[in-house]
Amino acid sequence: MIYYKTQEELEKLRESAQIVSRTLAEVAKLIKPGVSSLTLDRTAEEYIRDNGGRPAFKNYKGFPFSLCISLNETVVHGFPSIRELNETDIISVDCGVEKNGYFGDSAYTFALAGVNSDTEKLLRATKTCLYLAIDKAVAGNRMGDLGFAIQDYIERNLGYGIVRELVGHGVGRNLHEEPDVPNYGKRGSGLKLQEGLVIAIEPMVNQGTRNVVQLKDGWTINTADRKPSAHFELMLAVKKGKADVLSTFAFLEEEEAKNDNLKKIEVNQELLVS
């Protein structure tokens, strides 16, 4: 069952999504060599609670942390740990918040200053394809149009692998709702998009094979060939003409630009709809 949201509900979802967005910015301030991902997790939980939210991931189906933190070849669902970051790491930070019964969800992959150009290119491409899909998330289009936009750019043009086993999703009074939002598809196929549909689009792109493996902890997903993976996620409401993006990278991008320990991940603006 797909639940279409009223404007009042959209504003409640936006509030939760904005807390997520600002939490990611707080995390961005701290990322540097020598910092543990467990420190980032604790900072995020404190910020979320101080702003009237609840960490949506913590205890979700037994997940023990407030953030999913995934380094290098880990695609998603990594556990924060005492392992300290180094200057060649990439770090995907996925955050969820519940406030007043409504959820927000967003993710960003940061690159520390020593990351090589090939990996930086992977991150730029993954961030770009997220915006390509957002451009298609308008009333009257179909779900396959979003997936095609990602797949055509990533696979046909760049030759990276798109993870199939994990997809985006609806968001509302539950963290994960129908419908699924695949990162691949055929134009003109699938669910017809209608106003009030709220979804999280989250391409997961591997530098090598699209195949993944799950670790024994039951959560952590790694690339099968141990090559790097990138993950970017934004949450939006389908509208006529242009999607209403409820979460934002703007806050964290400000911190990314100020943090000398991070590379700024730019998108290919020439490909995006003006």
Query: Which segments of the chain have a pLDDT < 50?
Result: 274
**How many domains does the chain contain in total?**
1
Quote the CA–CA distance of 125 and 257 in Å, as a whole number. Answer: 19
Asked, for residue 225, whether it belongs to a domain, the answer is yes
- Domain of 233, in residue numbers: 7-271
Asked, for residue 127, whether it belongs to a domain, the answer is yes
Asked, for residue 2, whether it belongs to a domain, the answer is no
Asked, for residue 98, whether it belongs to a domain, the answer is yes
Asked, for residue 265, whether it belongs to a domain, the answer is yes
Asked, for residue 89, whether it belongs to a domain, the answer is yes
Asked, for residue 70, whether it belongs to a domain, the answer is yes
Is residue 23 within 8 Å of residue 108, measured between CB atoms?
no
Express each pLDDT in 110-130 by its tens digit: 999 999 999 999 999 999 999
List the 212-214 sheet strands across, edge first: 74-76, 221-223, 212-214
Alpha-helical (H) ranges within 174-267 are: 250-258
Question: How many helices (H) and strands (E) would you count in the chain?
Answer: 5, 16
Q: What percent of the chain has pLDDT over 70?
A: 99
Overall pTM surpassing 0.95 (yes/no): yes
Asked, for residue 1, whether it belongs to a domain, the answer is no
* CATH number of domain containing 151: 3.90.230.10
- For residue 217, count other CB atoms closer than 10 A to its CB: 10
Express each pLDDT in 175-226 by its tens digit: 999 999 999 999 999 999 999 999 999 999 999 999 999 999 999 999 999 9
